Amino acid sequence: MTTSVKSLMEQANAAVPRVNAAEALEMAKRADALWLDVRDAPEVAQSGKVAGAVNISRGMLEFRADPSSPAYDKNFVGEKTIFVYCASGGRSALAGKTLKDLGYEHVYNLGAFKDWVEGGGKVD
């Protein structure tokens, strides 16, 4: 059975709630937050990232987020509320769905990095 990008995006958007910068900042006050930038390194170098965010490109996410992987990133340890973002919101939606599939429960799509900046979020 084949699928399409449209179908994958619909599934991801249905599984991962979208939040804006203000909502994310409020939620992060009450939780152990992980800000996750899934853009590629050159994108991050060009524009910066959410203050304190961890950059793991979308293509490496499964390897970094799976505790059984030798490439596991210890930023995922513990019960985290994960806020994922990218350049436009598409990769972050797909990344959020992947994290949900890997067992992470509290995952939110912050959408586009520019939305964070326009919402007054701090940038490194």
The tens digit of pLDDT for each residue in 4-55 reads: 999 998 999 999 999 998 999 888 888 799 999 999 999 999 999 999 999 9
Q: How confident is the model at residue 82 (pLDDT cuts 50, 70, 90)?
A: very high
Q: H-type helices in 16-86, by residue range?
A: 21-28, 41-47, 61-65
Residue 79 carries which DSSP code? S
Q: What domains sit in the chain, N to C, each tagged with a CATH number?
A: 5-118 (3.40.250.10)
Contacts of 30 (CB under 8 A, 6+ apart): none
Greatest distance between any 2 Cα atoms in the chain: 44
Given a cut of 80, whether residue 1 has pLDDT beyond it is no
Share of the chain above pLDDT 70, in %: 100
Residue 31 carries which DSSP code? S
Mean pLDDT of the chain: 94
Q: What are phi and psi of 100, to 5 degrees?
A: -60, -45
Model pTM score: 0.93
